[in-house]
Structure 1
């Protein structure tokens, strides 16, 4: 796991001191809110509907137990006893007092964390596959490259004031578990004819008002030239991206309006200038950064099959957890564990200070002091011995975190919505809670299988509703909160944007509407193993639309 170097420590310390002075000037009235706004946003501090919100960076979603304990301490001491894990693999504190923020930042710095570049028109937190460095299907661990990108992009003088915010995601596996095709830049590990590992580069993806699937701009960029290629893309965007209209300022609009080939030609022209220069990554530097992510001291264990059927008979809840929350590890005798932050009736992504402490304890005892935040608002213990799975489960039961629903219909993504966000048009959390109650029965969830519901409280799409198998978008019409339903979205390597099925539903009608869609699937799937998204693609949206609105 990466540790701060002298530069990291110095710039975080200096920024914390600088922002402490800015906060004091705001509190004394020397700065008004308009003057303070750009300063606080540079430090991850938002003014939400009811209070300030602090967004803390978790680079590539990787945390130690010590860092998680500090987040628990902050939640308990400076907030209301919980934090909210986000789709950017960050954590948000929704109720800090402004006067306490400098002290919070100092506490974060003490465990090598900060809130820099979690807001503003800059390169945001780089996200990646939550199973990076552990997955059995992985080509390469992407986290060393993600760390190099973090270092390159932190306080980059040329890219601190981009036309709009800029998001990068990276995955080292053929299966896209980081939604790279819906980012400004997406990177996916690839090999060339010689067997060398490099990166496919995708550009111009994104959600929000104009959802777009990214386009591949280069099929293979070697590690040594990756930073130079990324810098070339950012320079083209910084030069030509629109600044006159924030709704058309993202790179996806530039790619769409100019065309991929035009953008690619400009990027290649830039690349020819910078390739081979100071941005070249020597192998020794890659090896140095990679050493921070060296595999832990695994035991040499035999492959250990998990008899899920037997465990389900003995303990149905444990069997469900094994069936849904365990992911294949590349080392025999080990597994990765998803800790669901989606209890029935809970707010997706929330964890209490006590739960964070419990997860830190489990990471330290059973996962080599390492845990992850997923972009699906769950936590992960990446390296657990199969022999320790029962002990981990028992610990999660005690913490109220043992829901065995990863990937199922109740494992929903939801933004904070109108309960917190000043931009939202409608509430998201109560909709998620009502749907989870509707489908709470484990047998019902198992019958449905893999189904991703994603909920956003406004068109900004922080809940990724566009790429939900079923997406729900909150809108406001004549003072009433309504919810549009989309169908057929997919954030994986089979990327697709969901289609709006028709007029929105009032809040109370949403769970029944979702049930009607599910009933069509169960009645029309070809086999019990055909996933929901496959049935939708085979049938089209007509039968689902009819189930919601009748014949037209």
Structure 2
């Protein structure tokens, strides 16, 4: 993975020193909270319901074992012994003291980490596929380009104060595992008829109050021109994006207002104007950055070794875990493993300091020291030998990290909700726990099969409820927590926004409604098709009728 150069080290050192002074001034009373707010947001510090929260950047989700151990140390020393991994492939610490945050940032800098641009009206942490570089369907590894975008966007003078926060995702595979259609800019590696790889550019996707599926702005942009093209998009947005209303400030609203054709014309005109003046990434620099993501020294191994097949036949629990949590690797004899952070009754995305230390140890022992944070709030070990899968599984079992539910109904994505967030209308965490307990039977989960379930505690949609096959939105109904059910969302290359299934429910009522939805699906599915295929075939009506009948 990428290593800081001297410029990176200097930038982070200077920012830590600057923010340390700002914190001192806030604690002394020289700065009011109102004055301090824009300064702390530039450094990933939020003020939540009960305490400050620090959001740490994990660029494109990549961690080393050393970085994970430092995160565990911070959780243990400066927080309450855990951290929360997010849908943006970052980690949040929910209980640091403001006086300790400069020390935390110094400790992060020592292992080449920071909290810069994890909040505020800037280009946020660039995300990508948690299986980048190992997925068999990739055109190319998107991580070097994610790093190019990180360097380009960090402290870019024109894009420090955008109309609103700005999110970019890049995917390299035929299967979109980065939700590119739901970002301000989505980037997908594609091949031209010539065979050359380049980028499809998607613009104006997003969730929140006005969810939108992104639209293809340009079918193919050459690698040599990617930065000038993205800069043209950002310049048009910065010039025309609304600043008078934060709810209408995202680029999706501008694309709506101008129409896709009108927005494309503005971008093309700006692109022609700046082409040649914006510094593109020299080929040798792309090569230099790409070398940091070079393949490890793979061993010559056979797929499905006898010891793996024997272990699967001996243990149904291990076999179920392999079926759910182990992904085929592009290199024979290896596998990419998802470590679920969704135990029955657990808090989605949370990991204790002890678990983080254990994950770091497992990365060293089984995954060449590498880990990834997925947008599904899980951890990926990308370089595991198939003949070591059983040993890894046994180690995960001992740490309570072997839940075999990746992509199943209890692999719930959830925001922190009203337990932490000042913006939330309803609690997400207790509801996620209730649902995972209702569907705790792992054999039943495997029978139900692939289905995504997402929960947001408010309309800001941090839990991505719009794109869950089953989505839940927490709302305030006359001072009471209520939950709205949506069905049919999809975050992949067949992107869709879910349909509202009816009036709101209590927490207990929405769990019962999900049970009803699953019953309809099981009765209607054909040939083992996943939930989303059944939903698209029969539509909302049968589900809605069954829900209303059960009320």
| TM-score, with length taken from structure 1 | 0.98
Determine the C-alpha separation between the residues in 2 that align with 1:500 and 1:156: 40
5 Å-filtered alignment, 1:75-224, equals: 75-224=75-224
Determine the C-alpha separation between the residues in 1 that align with 2:309 and 2:282: 50
5 Å-filtered alignment, 1:372-411, equals: 372-411=372-411
Determine the C-alpha separation between the residues in 2 that align with 1:159 and 1:487: 36
Determine the C-alpha separation between the residues in 1 that align with 2:90 and 2:317: 29
For 1:26, the equivalent position in structure 2 comes to 26
Shift of 1:526: 1.7
Residues 466 and 497 of structure 1 are in contact (CA less than 8 Å); yes or no, is this contact kept in structure 2? yes
How many residue pairs get matched? 551
Unaligned runs of 5+ in 2: none
Determine the C-alpha separation between the residues in 2 that align with 1:26 and 1:91: 25
- Cα root mean square deviation, aligned: 1.3
Shift of 1:144: 0.4
Residues 71 and 356 of structure 1 are in contact (CA less than 8 Å); yes or no, is this contact kept in structure 2? yes
For 1:482, the equivalent position in structure 2 comes to 482
Closer/same/farther in 2, CA of residues 463 and 193 from structure 1, 3 Å limit? same
Determine helix, strand or coil for the equivalent of 1:550: helix
For 1:466, the equivalent position in structure 2 comes to 466
Determine helix, strand or coil for the equivalent of 1:505: coil
Unaligned runs of 5+ in 1: none
Determine the C-alpha separation between the residues in 2 that align with 1:404 and 1:26: 46
Shift of 1:398: 1.4
Determine the C-alpha separation between the residues in 2 that align with 1:66 and 1:526: 47
Of 313-322 and 81-90, the range deviating more from structure 2: 313-322
For 2:331, the equivalent position in structure 1 comes to 331
Determine the C-alpha separation between the residues in 1 that align with 2:309 and 2:259: 52
Determine the C-alpha separation between the residues in 2 that align with 1:544 and 1:303: 42
Residues 336 and 380 of structure 1 are in contact (CA less than 8 Å); yes or no, is this contact kept in structure 2? yes
Shift of 1:297: 1.1
Determine the C-alpha separation between the residues in 1 that align with 2:334 and 2:341: 22
For 1:68, the equivalent position in structure 2 comes to 68
Shift of 1:312: 4.8
For 2:261, the equivalent position in structure 1 comes to 261
- Cα deviation digits, residues 31-53 of structure 1 (max 9, x gap): 01000000000000000010000
Residues 189 and 197 of structure 1 are in contact (CA less than 8 Å); yes or no, is this contact kept in structure 2? yes
Shift of 1:304: 2.7
Residues 428 and 474 of structure 1 are in contact (CA less than 8 Å); yes or no, is this contact kept in structure 2? yes
Determine the C-alpha separation between the residues in 1 that align with 2:312 and 2:342: 21
Determine the C-alpha separation between the residues in 2 that align with 1:277 and 1:169: 25
- Cα deviation digits, residues 57-85 of structure 1 (max 9, x gap): 00000000000000000000000000000
Determine helix, strand or coil for the equivalent of 2:39: helix
Residues 469 and 487 of structure 2 are in contact (CA less than 8 Å); yes or no, is this contact kept in structure 1? yes
Shift of 1:504: 0.6
Closer/same/farther in 2, CA of residues 305 and 530 from structure 1, 3 Å limit? farther
Shift of 1:308: 7.9
1:56 aligns with 2:50: no
Shift of 1:277: 3.4
Residues 415 and 429 of structure 1 are in contact (CA less than 8 Å); yes or no, is this contact kept in structure 2? yes
For 1:344, the equivalent position in structure 2 comes to 344
| TM-score, with length taken from structure 2 | 0.98
Runs of 4+ in structure 1 over 6 Å off: 306-309
Determine helix, strand or coil for the equivalent of 2:157: coil
For 1:544, the equivalent position in structure 2 comes to 543
- Cα deviation digits, residues 505-538 of structure 1 (max 9, x gap): 01122211100000000011122x1110001000
Determine the C-alpha separation between the residues in 2 that align with 1:306 and 1:178: 34
- Cα deviation digits, residues 242-286 of structure 1 (max 9, x gap): 000000000000001110111111111111122233422221111
5 Å-filtered alignment, 1:347-358, equals: 347-358=347-358
Determine the C-alpha separation between the residues in 2 that align with 1:549 and 1:308: 47
Shift of 1:302: 2.2
Determine the C-alpha separation between the residues in 1 that align with 2:87 and 2:40: 21
Determine the C-alpha separation between the residues in 2 that align with 1:447 and 1:306: 27
For 1:530, the equivalent position in structure 2 comes to 529
- Cα deviation digits, residues 488-517 of structure 1 (max 9, x gap): 000000000001111110112221110000
Residues 225 and 279 of structure 1 are in contact (CA less than 8 Å); yes or no, is this contact kept in structure 2? no
- Cα deviation digits, residues 465-505 of structure 1 (max 9, x gap): 00000000000111110000000000000000001111110
Determine the C-alpha separation between the residues in 2 that align with 1:270 and 1:150: 22
1:285 aligns with 2:291: no
